Structure 1
Amino acid sequence: MQSIKFLHQTLAFLLELCMLAAMGRWAYLQGKTPWAKYSFAFLIIAFAVVLWAYFAAPKSPNRLMLEYRIIFEFLLFGIACWMLYSTGLHKYAWIFGITVLVSLCLEFYFEKK
C-alpha cells in the first residue's frame, strides 16, 4: 500500500506541474505582444502557485480541510483543463481531466484512511 501511496504522490505532483504548464500556455496565447505574452503567463502561474501554496500545500498552516481542499483542487485543475481544451489540445485536456479525477479520488481515499 505504501508503494501505491508513493506513486499517487508522485502523480499528484506531476499533475500540479501540468496544471501550471497548461495555465501558462493559455495565458501566453492570450497576449498580443511578446512582452504581454510572457507577463500574462508569469502572472497567471504566480497567482496559481500562491493560491496552491496558501491553501493546498502539505506544510501550509492555512491548509484547507480535506473536503474543502478536494473542492479547491478540483476547481484549479478544472480551470487548467478548460484552459488546455480552449487552446486546441482537446485530447490532452481529456487525458489530463480523467487523470485528475482519478488522482483526487485516490487522495480522498488515502487521507480518509
Structure 2
Amino acid sequence: MREDRADEPAIPSLSGRPWWAANEGLAFALELVALACLCWWGFTAGDGLAVHLLLGIGMPAVAIVLWGTFAAPRARIRLPLAGVLVVKAVVLGGGAFGLYQVGHPVAAVVLAVVVVVNTALAETFRRGPAPRA
C-alpha cells in the first residue's frame, strides 16, 4: 500500500475530469445569470429612463470589470483566495440580490445556494487533500 496520497482526490466520489468540467461549466453559466440578473434589476430600479439605462448597463459593466480584474482565471491582479471569494460574493451575490429585488425571492435563494455549492466544489477541486505525514 502506498503511503504517498498527494495525488488522491479531495472528494473521491466527485473527483475526476468530468465532474470538474461540469462544475466549471456551471460556474460560467452562473456568472452569466448573475450579469443578466444585475442587468434586469438595473433596468427596473429607480425612476426615469436615464437611471434605468445607467443602472441597467452600468451595474453589469462594473461587475464585469471587477470579475475580469480580480476573479477571472486570467485576472490581471491576483488576489489571495479570500479576496477572490469576496469579489465572487459581490458579483454573484449581487445577481441573486438583483433577482430578489425584481420580485423573485425563491429563485434568488435557489441561485444563491447553487452559487455557494458551486464555489465550494470548485475550491475543493482546485485543492488536493492535505499531505499526510
What amino acid maps onto 2:21 in structure 1? F
Contact (CA 8 Å) 1:28, 1:37: kept in 2 or not? yes
Q: How many residues align?
A: 113
Identify unmatched segments of 5+ residues in structure 2.
Answer: 1-15, 129-133
Instruction: State which of 21, 44, 47 in structure 2 corresponds to 1:29.
Output: 44
Contact (CA 8 Å) 1:5, 1:110: kept in 2 or not? yes
Contact (CA 8 Å) 2:66, 2:87: kept in 1 or not? no
Percent identity over paired residues: 27
Contact (CA 8 Å) 1:57, 1:63: kept in 2 or not? no
What amino acid maps onto 2:47 in structure 1? K
Identify unmatched segments of 5+ residues in structure 1.
Answer: none
- The answer to whether structure 1 residue 12 and structure 2 residue 27 are counterparts is yes
Residues 62-85 of structure 1 show CA distances to partners (whole Å, capped at 9, x for unaligned) of 132223212321232222212211
Comparing 88-97 with 70-79, greater Cα deviation is found at: 70-79
What amino acid maps onto 1:80 in structure 2? G
CA distance in 2, matches of 1:23, 1:83: 5
Structure 2 counterparts to residues 1-113 of structure 1, below 5 A = 1-113=16-128
What amino acid maps onto 1:40 in structure 2? L
Contact (CA 8 Å) 1:24, 1:42: kept in 2 or not? yes
What amino acid maps onto 1:97 in structure 2? A
TM-fit CA distance, 1:110: 1.3
Comparing 17-26 with 79-88, greater Cα deviation is found at: 79-88
CA distance in 1, matches of 2:61, 2:72: 15
Greater relative CO, 1 or 2 (CA 8 Å, sep 6+): 2
CA distance in 2, matches of 1:112, 1:66: 12
What amino acid maps onto 1:93 in structure 2? A
CA distance in 1, matches of 2:89, 2:44: 24
CA distance in 2, matches of 1:27, 1:61: 27
CA distance in 2, matches of 1:85, 1:109: 28
TM-fit CA distance, 1:15: 0.4
CA distance in 2, matches of 1:3, 1:79: 29
